[in-house]
Amino acid sequence: MNSACKLIPGTVALLFLAGCGPSLPPSKPLSELNTQEMRGYHVYQAECARCHYANSERSLHGPGLQGLYKLKYLPSGAPANDDRVTNVILHGHALMPAFGDKIDQQQLNDLLAYLHTL
């Protein structure tokens, strides 16, 4: 915890709102991605980057993706696992459009591999 964050009884829930919660580890550097992860990075750039930041939790048009699999739950409250993320990618959710007709199974697998590096 950084020195700016002081634990005061009754304020634990506010720590996360104030940005004092645990920080996520950094994403894997592009230079260290394996072949599949790099292909997934290219899918991300082509299909996802216009709405989602990869290396930030901040929202662009959709939620930031940093730490997507390092957290227990997605921003929607659903479990952060491959089944749920795949469902959202293929079928959409809320304002996110479906990509089931835009990417094939290999691209989906590559994208999931990349998302795990964030």
Both tokens assigned to 6: 């002081």
Number of domains in the chain: 1
**Is there a domain that residue 16 lies in?**
no
**Is there a domain that residue 3 lies in?**
no
**Is there a domain that residue 41 lies in?**
yes
Residue 9 has a pLDDT of 45
**Is there a domain that residue 9 lies in?**
no
Residue 22 has a pLDDT of 57
Domain that includes residue 65, residue range = 28-115
**Is there a domain that residue 61 lies in?**
yes
Q: Could you tell me the CATH number of the domain that includes residue 108? A: 1.10.760.10
**Is there a domain that residue 82 lies in?**
yes
Residue 3 has a pLDDT of 43
Give the residue among 71, 93, 53 at the shortest CA–CA distance from 16.
Answer: 71
From first to last of the 118 residues of the chain, give the pLDDT tens digit.
Answer: 444 444 444 433 333 334 445 577 789 999 999 999 999 999 999 999 999 999 988 999 999 999 999 989 887 888 999 999 999 999 999 889 999 999 999 999 999 999 999 9
* pTM reported for the whole predicted model: 0.78
**Is there a domain that residue 7 lies in?**
no
**Is there a domain that residue 107 lies in?**
yes
Give the residue among 76, 50, 52, 47 at the shortest CA–CA distance from 65.
Answer: 52
93 phi and psi angles, rounded to 5 deg = -165, 130
